[in-house]
């Protein structure tokens, strides 16, 4: 396959950035999208040009490190697939492909296609956990968990923290990410004691980090490589409402 | 030139004597403690945020130490533990199928082909039950039965069902549990997190590990960080083969730099080749993808009986198929340990019975399981793995059998540590895959997650206190001559890499190094092949330093420079791996020497000559390393020829 790539090049945070066109020939349909970029970079290096910086690590769709806007779609055209798992057989010979970084005010560009997603970690640090210091755990079977709840908790926990939901959202909102973690933890008995302080803490951190608000645009779920459903945000809203009504869960007996 | 010299033997002096099931309890009691008020004044550096590093950093911070944590990824949640699929072993015996701490200990020592330390392995088995409790308390969504209790499944090398799992994403869920505990401590100000930072040198002051030199991967800034102790949790070195199931960034630099500063490197040749990976599809391939071992619970491995039979697999009748694992190993069948399954796949392909376009592949077939359990049940168990297979290969494994082939997956070797997980440099502790400790010459499936979390949550936080309590250490800062020198070495090396400005990319060298290693230091090794490899590696390393082209500067995000530094260290490691493999004139676990096999082709150990850990001491670049032997004593599990027949 022969392709034309139009790639966002930006030297650093202060640079304005621009789209640059690169032809790439002899692409095998069995290559992954990132392997296709590897081929381009090898060529750029030998030509004395700066290779395209992009984030990637596991290349098997689980670490969440890669993230590219491909023809305007987060992670590209194939549903439920990260950019690293996208293969060139999804494209046609002669196609022009636009490649851009995640664009959101909470994710400043570092260089080319690499952005800073540290804001997602801040949301987790603000409550996305169960307080269970090492050594304090009771015997695992002392609290059974209904299979339906365990399975649903798993579905939400499958989030890989890539930020595609934020990139796809017209508001740059991180609500699907936040709601996925909240849903996992609030479905489990171990997560109940901190349920309402957690939701307040995480939503506050979300807003402080510069993410936009959720207006139910619904662009996030189709972009999510793990298919986190939109109704997790409904669960977040319900918990948030209850939490504010209860004074952040600090009222005994609430 | 001689390849190595032999030095004094070494011994683990930390494991207490006495009955094996009392040793860890004794050690915990005898280890000195640090008063909570003093912990606040002590800083511990932890490099790496996978299961071992993440859990250790969180736990040390909970205990009150000041922790500085480093990872090269953009977030601690992305460490490669996240990609572990199948599960985590624990001797809970919830199945009432005869499991016990002693049986997990026995299976692990046997699975490692009698090349691990009994004391360490027993402790691992003891702690395994606490790990499951800890993870459940953190909200790890393990698979459960309808009654709400935890489900388990079988893994290779065991006849009990002791593997806990979260669909095909167990590593991810366990890592996120540790990551969330770590983030909690970051939020509380107890851990200072440094993502996108890479350790490039260890600082040793008066014989003790006192700090590291790191590069900020965004700005290129080099800084020296000092501490009371340093913990390396930087993972394994499988990427020396270029193609492996490791993440692209996985590297040996942190442990190799420590090795050059005096930490012994143990058993570097023990490499795990995982039997079930998606075969290589072409020269462009940048990494290999694992298909979880759990698939061997229900998938049946086969090749055609006849050579060169390239009919569609569905058209090959039952009696013309060779379910070779079931045939050769009737009692373990498709669930033999990884080293055995990998070698068997290689053997049938060498016979000309391999399948797929490259003929380097065997079938993993789910047709029987789908008939027996229904497609829905198979989807529920392995859905995500089947989808991943289809995305990569374009084939639907519900309809046609998967094609699989062995690939480099894990390295059992690593920095030598004693029972306290302390290396040969005082104050330098090594945990998880980065150390050599618990898996001998072959790791059993679902035991890496167990060891990473055992080290990080339970073992290191106890043993490091014993070291820190021996203080207070003299105050030193980044202006100490040893620290200044370490930093200057790092800066010099970066300048040297940038200055070559040759005509070959880093990746092209890495790929070629990987081919040499796979050919001669992979699934089968021989005296002649290893000697040839050592010559080729040295020649290629010289070429690297004359012809590599690294673009850009050191003062920016420069991924080509990052790779260059890692590959330079892989060259040095690769040579030591081959020397280790050459000197070990026996076959054991993942180390298979063509000259040493039983009449039916199984690994032939030589316990009289080689029942030891080979711990290598660095001398100088290009000079022979010194071999120190730690004799292994087996008091509880008597070494026998491993049989899974």
Using one digit for the tens of pLDDT, what is the confidence trace for B621-633? 889 999 999 999 9
Q: Which among B180, B181, B391 has the least Cβ separation from residue A81? A: B391
Chain-wide mean pLDDT for chain B?
96
Residues A136 and A222 both lie in one domain: yes
Mean pLDDT of chain A: 96
Of B47-51, B187-191, B381-385, the range with the lowest mean pLDDT is B381-385
The radius of gyration computed from the CA coordinates of chain B, to the nearest angstrom, equals 24
- pLDDT for position B142: 97
Burial of A94 (0-12, 13-18, 19+ CB in 10 A): exposed
* Residue A80 is assigned to a structural domain of this protein: yes
pLDDT (average), residues B437-460: 96
Interface test mutation site (partner B, options A132, A158, A162, max chain B beta carbons within 10 A): A132
Kindly tell me the sign of the dihedral angle through the C-alpha atoms of A121, A123, A125, A130: negative
Is-catalytic flag, B338? yes
- Residue B167 CB-density burial (10 A; 0-12 exposed, 13-18 middle, 19+ buried): buried
Q: Please name which of A229, A166, A175 lies closest in space to residue A206, comparing C-alpha atoms.
A: A175
| Token output for B568 | 């330079």
Q: Is residue A7 part of a domain?
A: yes
Helix (H, G, I), strand (E, B) or coil at B6: strand
| pLDDT per position as a tens digit, B518-576 | 999 999 999 999 999 999 999 999 999 999 999 999 999 999 999 999 999 999 999 99
Span A109-127, average pLDDT: 98
Q: What is the pLDDT of residue A249?
A: 54
- The confidence score (pLDDT) of residue A104 equals 97
Parallel, antiparallel or unpaired: strands A109-111 and A114-115: antiparallel
Q: How far apart are CA B39 and CA B301, in angstroms?
A: 54
Q: Per-residue pLDDT for B234 more than 60?
A: yes
Domains in chain B: ranges and CATH: 274-407 (3.90.700.10), 481-613 (1.20.58.100)
What pLDDT does B643 receive? 78
Q: Does A94 touch chain B (CB under 8 A)?
A: no
Pick from A143, A127, A146: which is nearest to A249 by CA? A127
**Listed residues A111, A144, A162: the one ending a domain:** A111
Would you say B214 and B197 are in contact if contact means Cβ atoms under 8 Å apart?
A: yes
Same domain, A163 and A199: yes
Output the pLDDT for position B283.
Answer: 87
CB pairs below 8 Å between A and B: how many?
A: 220
**Judged by CB atoms within 8 Å, which residues 215-234 of A form the interface with B?**
none
Q: What's residue A254's pLDDT?
A: 44
What pLDDT sits at residue B1? Answer: 65
Q: Do A62 and B145 touch (CB under 8 A)?
A: no
**Domain end among A111, A145, A172:** A111
Q: What is the pLDDT of residue A236?
A: 98
The string of DSSP codes covering A33-77 is: HHHHHHHHHHHHHHTTPPPPP---SSSSS-S-----EETTEET-S
For B220-232, write each residue's pLDDT tens digit.
Answer: 999 999 999 999 9
Q: What pLDDT is stored for residue B182 in this prediction? A: 98
Residue A20 maps to which CATH number? Answer: 3.10.20.30
A145 with A177, same domain: the answer is yes
Q: What pLDDT score does B157 carry?
A: 82
Distance CA B172, CA A159 (A): 10
Q: How far is CA B515 from CA A81, A199, B242, B397, B622, in A?
A: 30, 51, 8, 30, 22
Under 8 Å between Cβ of B191 and B69: yes
Specify the pairing of strand B300-304 against strand B271-277. unpaired
Is residue A251 over pLDDT 80?
Answer: no
Inter-residue contact A182 to A197 (CB < 8 Å) = no
Indicate whether A171 belongs to any domain: yes
A107 and A164 in a single domain? The answer is no
Mean pLDDT score, A193-208? 97
Same domain, A128 and A39: no
Q: Give the residue numbers spanning the domain of A37.
A: 3-111
Say yes or no: A76 and A48 in one domain: yes
**What CATH number does the domain containing A206 carry?**
1.10.1060.10
**Residue recorded with tokens 């014993």:** B466
Domain count, chain A: 2
Q: Are residues A102 and A207 in the same domain?
A: no
- For residue B152, list its beta bridge partners: B164
Q: What is the ipTM of this complex?
A: 0.97
> Least CA distance to B290: which residue of chain A?
A60
Cβ density class B270-299: b for 16+ within 10 Å, e for less: bbbbbbbbbbbbeebbbbbbbbbbbbbbbb
Instruction: Quickly state the pLDDT bin for B128 (edges 50, 70, 90).
Output: very high
DSSP secondary structure of B583-604: H--S-BTTB-BTTSB-TTS-B-
Local structure of B553: helix, strand or coil: coil
Chain A residues whose beta carbon lies within 8 Å of the beta carbon of residue B287: 59-60
**Contact flag B289-A60 (C-beta cutoff 8 Å):** yes
Q: How far is the C-alpha of B62 from the C-alpha of A129, rounded, in Å?
A: 14
Which is catalytic among the residues B39, B78, B162, B338?
B338
Element (H or E) spanning B328, and its range? Answer: helix B324-328
Mean pLDDT of B302-324: 95
Using the beta-carbon criterion (under 8 Å), do A129 and B180 form an inter-chain contact?
Answer: yes
Distance of residue B599 Cα from the nearest chain A Cα, in angstroms: 40
Mean pLDDT of A71-83: 97
Cα dihedral sign for B243, B244, B245, B246?
negative
Please indicate, yes or no, if residue A140 is contained in any of the structural domains. Answer: yes
Pick among B28, B54, B74, B383 to test the A interface (most A CBs inside 10 A): B74
Whether the pLDDT of residue B26 is over 60: the answer is yes
Pairing of β B43-47 and β B229-232: parallel
A254 found inside a domain: no
**A229 and A142 housed in the same domain:** yes
Out of A63, A133, A134, closest to residue B78 by CB: A63
Q: Give the integer Cα–Cα distance in Å for A58 and B135.
A: 23
Same domain, A83 and A142: no
Residues A99, A129: one domain?
no
Q: Which residues contact A93 (CB under 8 A, 6 or more apart)?
A: A1, A2, A3
Which of A88, A111, A134 is the last residue in one of the domains?
Answer: A111
Task: Please give the distance of CA B513 from its chain centroid, rounded to a whole number.
Answer: 20
Q: Report the pLDDT averaged over residues B457-481.
A: 95
Say whether both A99 and A72 belong to one domain.
Answer: yes
Q: Do B83 and A60 touch (CB under 8 A)?
A: yes
Q: CA B569 to CA B567: how far, in whole Å?
A: 5
**A19-23, B35-39, B86-90, B471-475: segment of lowest average pLDDT:** B471-475
A7 pairs with which residues across the strands? Answer: A20, A99
Q: Is residue A252 part of a domain?
A: no
What is the rounded average pLDDT of the residues A204-218?
97
The secondary structure of residue B167, as a DSSP letter, is T
Average pLDDT, stretch B631-643?
Answer: 92
Residues A7 and A104 reside in one and the same domain: yes
Q: Rounded CA gap, B132 and B117, in Å?
A: 24
Nearest chain A residue to B177 by CA distance is A129
B243 burial (CB, 10 Å; 0-12 / 13-18 / 19+) is buried
Q: What is the pLDDT of residue B600?
A: 84
Predicted confidence (pLDDT) per residue in B278-307, tens digit: 999 888 899 999 998 889 989 999 999 999
């Amino acid at each position: 396959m022969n392709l034309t790539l139009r790639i966002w090049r930006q030297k650093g945070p202060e640079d304005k950035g621009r789209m640059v066109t690169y032809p790439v020939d002899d692409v095998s349909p069995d290559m992954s999208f990132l392997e296709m970029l590897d081929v381009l970079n090898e060529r750029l290096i030998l030509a004395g040009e700066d290779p395209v910086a992009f984030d990637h690590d596991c290349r098997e769709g689980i670490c969440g490190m890669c993230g590219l806007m491909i023809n305007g779609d987060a992670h590209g055209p194939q549903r439920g697939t990260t950019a690293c798992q996208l293969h060139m057989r999804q494209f046609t010979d002669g196609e022009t492909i636009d490649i851009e970084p995640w664009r959101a005010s909470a994710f400043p560009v570092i260089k080319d296609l690499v952005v800073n997603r540290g804001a997602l970690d801040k949301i987790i640090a603000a409550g996305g956990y169960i307080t269970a210091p090492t050594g304090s755990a009771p015997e695992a079977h002392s609290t059974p968990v209904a299979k339906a709840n365990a399975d649903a908790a798993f579905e939400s926990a499958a989030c890989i923290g890539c930020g595609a939901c934020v990139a796809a959202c017209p508001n740059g909102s991180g609500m699907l990410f936040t709601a996925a973690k909240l849903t996992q933890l609030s479905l489990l008995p171990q997560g109940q004691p901190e349920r309402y302080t957690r939701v307040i803490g995480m939503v506050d951190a979300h807003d402080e980090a510069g993410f936009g608000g959720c207006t139910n645009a619904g662009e996030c779920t189709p972009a999510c490589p793990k298919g986190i459903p939109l109704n997790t945000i409904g669960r977040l809203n319900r918990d948030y409402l209850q939490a504010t009504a209860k004074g952040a869960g600090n009222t005994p007996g609430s | 030139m001689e390849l190595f010299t032999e030095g004094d033997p070494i011994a683990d002096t930390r494991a207490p004597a006495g009955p094996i099931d009392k040793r860890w309890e004794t050690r915990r009691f005898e280890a000195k403690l640090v008063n909570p008020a003093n912990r606040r004044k002590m800083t511990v550096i932890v490099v790496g945020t996978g299961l071992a590093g993440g859990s250790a950093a969180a736990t040390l911070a909970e205990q009150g130490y000041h922790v500085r944590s480093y990872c090269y990824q953009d977030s601690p949640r992305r460490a490669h533990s996240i990609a572990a699929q199948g599960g985590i072993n624990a001797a809970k015996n919830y199945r009432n199928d005869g499991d016990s701490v002693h049986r997990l200990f026995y299976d692990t020592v046997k699975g490692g082909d009698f090349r691990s330390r009994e004391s360490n392995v027993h402790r691992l088995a003891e702690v395994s039950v606490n790990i499951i409790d800890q993870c459940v308390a953190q909200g790890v969504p393990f698979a459960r039965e309808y009654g709400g209790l935890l489900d388990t499944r079988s893994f290779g090398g065991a006849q009990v069902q002791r593997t806990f799992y979260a669909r095909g994403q167990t590593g991810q869920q366990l890592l996120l549990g540790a990551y969330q505990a770590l983030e909690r401590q970051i939020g509380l100000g107890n851990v200072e997190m440094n993502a996108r930072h890479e350790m490039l040198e260890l600082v040793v002051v008066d014989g003790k590990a006192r700090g590291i030199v790191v590069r900020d991967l965004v700005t290129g800034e080099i800084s020296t960080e000092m501490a009371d102790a340093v913990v390396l949790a930087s993972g394994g070195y499988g990427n020396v083969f270029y193609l492996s199931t490791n993440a692209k960034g996985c590297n040996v630099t942190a442990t190799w730099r420590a090795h050059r500063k005096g930490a012994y490197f143990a058993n570097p040749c023990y490499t795990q080749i995982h039997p079930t990976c998606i075969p290589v599809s072409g020269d462009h391939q940048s990494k290999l993808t694992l298909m979880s071992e759990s698939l061997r619970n229900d998938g049946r491995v086969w090749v055609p009986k006849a050579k060169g039979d390239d009919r569609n697999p569905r058209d090959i009748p039952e009696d013309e198929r060779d379910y070779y694992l079931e045939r050769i190993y009737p009692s373990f069948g498709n669930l033999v340990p990884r080293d055995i399954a990998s070698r068997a796949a290689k053997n049938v392909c060498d016979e000309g019975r391999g399948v797929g376009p490259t003929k380097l592949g065997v079938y993993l077939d789910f047709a029987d399981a789908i008939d027996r359990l229904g497609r829905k049940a198979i989807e529920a168990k392995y859905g995500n793995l089947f989808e991943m297979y289809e995305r990569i290969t374009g084939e639907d494994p519900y309809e046609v059998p998967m094609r699989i082939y062995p690939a480099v997956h894990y390295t059992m070797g690593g920095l030598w540590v004693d029972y306290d997980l302390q290396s040969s440099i005082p104050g330098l502790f090594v945990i998880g895959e980065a150390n050599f400790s618990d898996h001998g010459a072959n790791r059993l499936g679902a035991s890496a997650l167990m060891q990473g979390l055992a080290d990080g949550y339970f073992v290191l936080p106890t043993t490091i206190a014993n070291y820190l309590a021996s203080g207070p250490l003299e105050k030193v800062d980044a202006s100490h001559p040893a620290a200044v020198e370490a930093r200057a070495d790092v800066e010099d090396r970066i300048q040297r890499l940038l200055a070559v400005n040759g005509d070959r990319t880093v990746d092209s060298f890495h790929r070629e190094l990987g081919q040499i290693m796979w050919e001669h230091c992979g699934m089968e090794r021989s005296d002649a092949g290893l000697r040839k490899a050592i010559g080729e590696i040295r020649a290629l390393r010289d070429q690297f330093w004359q012809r590599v082209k690294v673009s850009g500067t050191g003062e920016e995000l420069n991924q080509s420079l990052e790779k260059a530094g890692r590959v330079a260290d892989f060259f040095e490691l690769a040579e030591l791996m081959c020397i280790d493999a050459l000197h070990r004139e026996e076959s054991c676990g993942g180390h298979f020497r063509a000259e040493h096999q039983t009449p039916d082709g199984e690994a032939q150990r030589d316990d009289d000559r080689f029942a030891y850990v080979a711990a290598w001491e660095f001398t100088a670049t290009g000079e022979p390393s010194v071999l120190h032997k730690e004799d292994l004593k087996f008091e509880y599990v008597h070494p026998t020829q491993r049989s899974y027949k």
